């Protein structure tokens, strides 16, 4: 939809676990090579949470980084949204643990799981809460510990994923808002292509081989994304009344560099204007888009007024995006 927004992104804070897993480490674990992983995915390293470190721990540290970098107050936040497909528990939510840690009073909390598309959903919900007057200030924290559900004997998946958290503060502004347009869609009939079982071990009638471990049909996902996402991005851009010439940065979900190059080729969009996070952090699920933005901010690449397309895709299958002005 085309959005009349009065919400602005104030800043981002990140936490990346210290433990690195390089392609050379993976060569010792499964039948793979640094050359294969870099050529087929673009990933060189990823970070892994410690055994006793979970999404809530990463989320809290990302919020601390946000506070320190931007010197912002969070004790008046009205809502905390944590996007994650790897919450610590069924109950309580990760968002409630974050609220409790910081002792924020009169603050709503919710977790939002839409796989790797989660961050785009999260900031869209935040913008809507602000636009309708429910909230003035919302924290959206993408916190993921995929390493807890990765089978490190499966070379099809273990080379791809890493852990990270990014906290984004969004608040009401009297000036122009950040959000210009959105587009969301889902393909639940293809849900069995990206799974991690829990109470049930079946998806769409298909029995999942591994319990509580991430599985994907990598090749069919790759083909689905390259075939469908470019058209979806056109739809999103049309809603914004902008053209690709107006766009300074394309920030796709950093799943696989080869796949993103294929999307850019189909869109005739220069890969140099793409912000990514997978080379040193892997696919960090819902954290990958805000992590790419955070890395670009660290390099002072993004300027005030820049127009950006954020586009996520993943489990569900879900995909969707937002056009925003920085
Ligand atoms: C998973 C993925 C990296 C595999 O790359 P690919 O180029 O599609 O490779 P394929 O699956 O066609 O496999 C090609 C060969 O490489 C092998 N292979 C797979 N992983 C390997 C690895 N880590 N090292 C070496 N060889 C590997 C396969 O077994 C296959 O061998 P075969 O031809 O003998 O059967 C890629 O499909 C991908 O990124 N898909 C999308 C994933 C995604 O976006 N997920 C979203 C979830 S959020």
% of the chain residues with pLDDT over 90: 97
Is the same domain home to 208 and 98?
A: no
Is 1 a domain residue?
Answer: no
For residue 131, is it within any domain?
Answer: yes
> Do residues 115 and 226 share a domain?
no
Whether the predicted pLDDT of 3 surpasses 80:
no
Ligand 1 nearest atom to the CA of residue 253, by list position:
48
In a shared domain, residues 20 and 145: yes
pLDDT at 2 over 80: no
Residue 307: pLDDT over 80? yes
Least confident range of 37-46, 164-173, 215-224:
215-224
Q: Is the pLDDT of residue 321 over 80?
A: yes
Please name the residues in contact with 90: beta carbons below 8 A apart, sequence gap of 6 or more. none
158 plus 201 within the same structural domain: no
Share of the chain above pLDDT 70, in %: 100
Q: Which atom of ligand 1 is nearest to the CA of 157?
A: 1
Beta strand 202-203 with 108-112 is unpaired
User: Which among 219, 258, 288 is the best mutation to test ligand 1's pocket, defined by most ligand atoms within 8 Å of the CB?
Assistant: 219
Pair 232, 136 in one domain: no
The model's pTM is 0.96
State whether 148 and 203 are in the same domain: no
Tokens coding 92: 């309580």
Let me know if residue 164 belongs to a domain.
yes
Pairing of β 45-48 and β 206-207:
unpaired
Residue pair 34/25 in contact by the 8 Å Cβ criterion: no
Q: How many CA atoms lie within 13 A of 56 on its CB side?
A: 20
Distance 304 CA to ligand 1 centre (A): 39
Q: Are 142 and 249 within one domain?
A: no
Chosen domain end from 172, 195, 221: 172
In order of 10, 122, 179, 183, 297, the CA distances from 247 in angstroms are 20, 22, 14, 16, 17
The preferred substitution site among 32, 116, 156 for testing ligand 1, maximizing ligand atoms within 8 Å of CB, is 156
Evaluate the CA torsion angle 89, 195, 282, 310 in order and state its sign. Answer: negative
pLDDT of residue 257: 97
**Active site (annotated) includes residue 101:** no
**Are 46 and 63 in the same domain?**
yes
The answer to whether residue 23 is catalytic is no
- Say whether 322 sits in a helix, a strand or coil: strand
Q: Is pLDDT above 90 for 1?
A: no
Number of domains in the chain: 2
Q: Final residue of a domain: which of 147, 172, 197?
A: 172
In a domain, 202, yes or no: yes
Closest CA to 232 of 122, 318, 121: 318
Q: Is the pLDDT of residue 230 over 80?
A: yes
Q: Are residues 32 and 125 in the same domain?
A: yes
Residue that is written with structure tokens 């109950």 in the block: 91
pLDDT tens digits, one per residue of 164-203 = 999 999 999 998 899 999 999 999 999 999 999 999 999 9
Last residue of a domain, one of 172, 207, 228: 172
Answer whether residue 319 is part of any domain: yes
Q: List, chain by chain if needed, residues with CB within 6 Å of any ligand 1 atom.
A: 32, 36-37, 40-41, 115-116, 155-156, 159, 194, 216, 218-219, 221-222, 255-256, 259, 314
SS3 labels along 253-321: CCCCHHHHHHHHHHHCCCHHHECCCHHHHCECHHHHHHHHHHHHHHCCCCCCCCEEEEEEEECCCEEEE
Above 90 in pLDDT, residue 20?
yes
Say if residue 184 is in the same domain as residue 319: yes
Q: Is the pLDDT of residue 160 over 90?
A: yes
Confidence (pLDDT) at 176: 87
Confirm if 289 and 313 have CB atoms less than 8 A apart: no
For the chain, the straight-line distance linking the first and the last C-alpha, in angstroms and rounded, comes to 19
23, 65, 116, 124: the catalytic one is: 116
Task: Classify residue 39 as exposed, middle or buried by CB count within 10 Å of its CB (0-12, 13-18, 19+).
Answer: exposed
**Based on the domain organization, do 164 and 234 belong to the same domain?**
no
Domain region containing 217: 179-325
Q: How does the average pLDDT of the chain come out, rounded? A: 96
Mean of pLDDT values over 214-230 = 94
Which CATH number covers residue 27? 3.40.47.10
Any catalytic annotation for residue 116?
yes
Distances in Å between the Cα of 283 and the Cα atoms of 76, 132, 252 are 32, 33, 11
The mean pLDDT of 204-218, rounded to a whole number, is 93
Q: Whose CA is nearest to atom 12 of ligand 1?
A: 219
- Residue 5: the pLDDT is 82
Catalytic pick among 196, 253, 264, 278: 253
Same domain, 156 and 186: no
Task: Work out which ligand 1 atom sits closest to the CA atom of 314.
Answer: 48
């Amino acid at each position: 939809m085309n959005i009349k927004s009065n919400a602005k992104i104030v800043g981002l804070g990140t936490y990346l676990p210290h433990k690195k897993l390089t392609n050379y480490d993976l060569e010792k674990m499964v039948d793979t090579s640094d050359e294969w992983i870099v050529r087929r995915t673009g990933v060189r390293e990823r970070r892994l949470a410690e055994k006793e470190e979970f999404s809530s721990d990463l989320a809290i540290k990302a919020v601390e980084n946000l506070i320190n970098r931007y010197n912002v107050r969070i004790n008046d936040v009205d809502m905390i949204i944590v996007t994650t497909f790897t919450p610590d528990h069924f109950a309580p939510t990760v968002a409630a643990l974050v609220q409790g840690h910081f002792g924020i009073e009169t603050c709503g909390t919710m977790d939002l799981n839409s796989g790797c598309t989660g961050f785009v959903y999260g900031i869209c919900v935040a913008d809507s809460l602000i636009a309708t007057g429910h909230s003035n200030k919302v924290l959206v924290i993408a916190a993921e510990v995929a390493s807890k559900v990765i089978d490190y004997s499966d070379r099809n998946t273990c080379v791809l994923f890493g852990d990270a958290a990014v906290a984004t503060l969004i608040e009401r502004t009297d000036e122009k808002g950040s959000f210009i347009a959105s587009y969301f869609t889902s393909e639940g009939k293809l849900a069995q292509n990206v799974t991690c079982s829990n109470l049930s071990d079946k998806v769409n009638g298909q029995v999942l081989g591994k319990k509580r471990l991430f599985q994907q049909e990598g090749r069919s996902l790759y083909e689905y994304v390259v075939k469908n996402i470019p058209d979806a991005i056109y739809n999103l851009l049309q809603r914004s009344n902008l053209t690709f010439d107006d766009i300074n940065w394309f920030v796709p979900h950093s799943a696989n560099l080869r796949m993103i190059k294929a999307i850019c080729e189909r869109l005739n969009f220069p890969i140099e204007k793409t912000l990514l996070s997978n080379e040193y952090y892997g696919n960090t699920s819902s954290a990958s888009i805000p992590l790419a933005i955070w890395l670009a901010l660290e390099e002072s690449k993004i300027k005030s007024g820049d127009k950006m397309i954020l586009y996520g895709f993943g489990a569900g299958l879900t995909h969707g995006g937002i056009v925003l002005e920085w």
